[in-house]
Homo-oligomer: A and B are copies of this chain.
């Protein structure tokens, strides 16, 4: 598909490398909604022309997308998009229902609501005294009936205790906190990782064993800066993307490496 930089013979690149390349651009088109669920992708021959690739390479790239669960290959029909992913914003702090309100109802299966003695590391993050109680909430969250995430939440006791009687099945914790406290949340520190699902988490999320998960740790503060909500959220990787916009710091600075 390419001339080398030197303008010489066709680059001899492995087919798997070329297939990844085609798959990545097609994946982005699916995720952006350019090819929505139910739509047929262009025919193999057309994709081969677009990407200056062989039909074998195109077939291999479609197999990669099929293995990710994004498309299905239907004899005589072609390649159908069968799934998109929900887009979760990285630039604003929103609860899941707020984020996905156009995609249908978020339903939470509440697996636990208990008062616990906060483990020391949790107490430290929430700036609680050692041995202080915390409210622990565990929810399996479904959108469109399918599991999207498993959320483990520790709440500062004054914020969490009034939530125990609330409708946690149909409401975001964020909204409930703001209602109960009568003040808005401020910001949140997040850490994102990709991890393979352990067998039990995979089973709870109805995902294949070792399925790739997005693991989000999120420490949310009230608008006065006090941390009140520490969460560990496992999103099914095949059902969600995170998107945002990053800005280049200190424009014009000289790079500090050779």
Contacts and interface: CB of A to CB of B under 8 A. Distances in A.
A217 B28 contact: yes
A198 interface: yes
Interface residues of A, number: 104
Contacts of A1: 116
Interface in A121-152: 121-122, 125, 136, 138, 152
Contacts of A40: none
Contacts of A200: 14, 16-17, 19-20
A75 interface: no
Given A21-B152, A211-B196, A257 B188 contact: no
Interface string A53-74: 0000000000010011000000
A190 B90 contact: yes
A92 to B, nearest CB: 5
A225 interface: no
B248 A184 contact: yes
A164 B68 CA distance: 34
Interface of A: 1-5, 7, 11, 13-14, 16-17, 19-22, 24-26, 28-29, 31, 34, 50-52, 64, 67-68, 85, 87, 90-94, 97-98, 101, 111-117, 119-122, 125, 136, 138, 152, 164, 170-172, 175, 178-179, 184-196, 198-201, 210-214, 217, 223, 232, 235, 237, 240-249, 251-253, 255-258
22 contacts: A1-B116, A3-B116, A16-B198, A16-B200, A17-B111, A24-B217, A31-B193, A34-B121, A50-B120, A52-B117, A52-B119, A67-B196, A101-B257, A170-B258, A175-B257, A179-B255, A184-B253, A190-B244, A191-B241, A192-B192, A192-B241, A193-B240
